[in-house]
Homo-oligomer: A and B are copies of this chain.
Amino acid sequence: MRLTVGLAIFEDIAAGVLDDEAAIKAALERAIEAGGFTLYDLRLVRFSPQGITGAAIVGESHLTIHTWPEERKLFVDVASCGDPAGVDRALDAIEKALPGARMSEVEVRTLGHSPP
């Protein structure tokens, strides 16, 4: 197996959006669709006093999202054993799905090796 993992931070998103479960779920769903992933399970947890975490299990691996409304930031982690381009497309979709979002940090890593 060979895994591509994309880690990204997005800034400048309205705090209200980052604390809105429907908006975060929709952004995650758009990322899953854009990445060409097959969704198996999607869960969201809303924290007190604010902040949301979403975790999606997909056939290709996973997508997780964590929001910090007080800093107007979110973190996305996309891991895929499929086409590496799907990871980039998923990250782009998050940026497009959330008004004002600007990717301020991104790291894409490759782990694992194909069997001999």
Contact = CB atoms under 8 A, between A and B. Distances in A.
B61 A62 contact: no
Interface of chain A, helix or strand or loop or mixed? Answer: strand
A69 to B, nearest CB: 11
B1 A111 contact: no
Number of copies: 2
A90 interface: no
Interface of A: 1, 3, 5, 7, 9, 40-41, 43, 45, 47, 53, 55-57, 59, 61-62, 64, 66, 68, 71, 73, 75, 77, 79, 81, 105, 107, 109, 111-112, 115
20 contacts: A3-B66, A5-B7, A7-B111, A9-B112, A41-B55, A43-B43, A53-B62, A55-B55, A55-B56, A55-B62, A55-B64, A66-B79, A71-B115, A73-B112, A75-B79, A75-B112, A77-B77, A77-B79, A105-B111, A105-B112
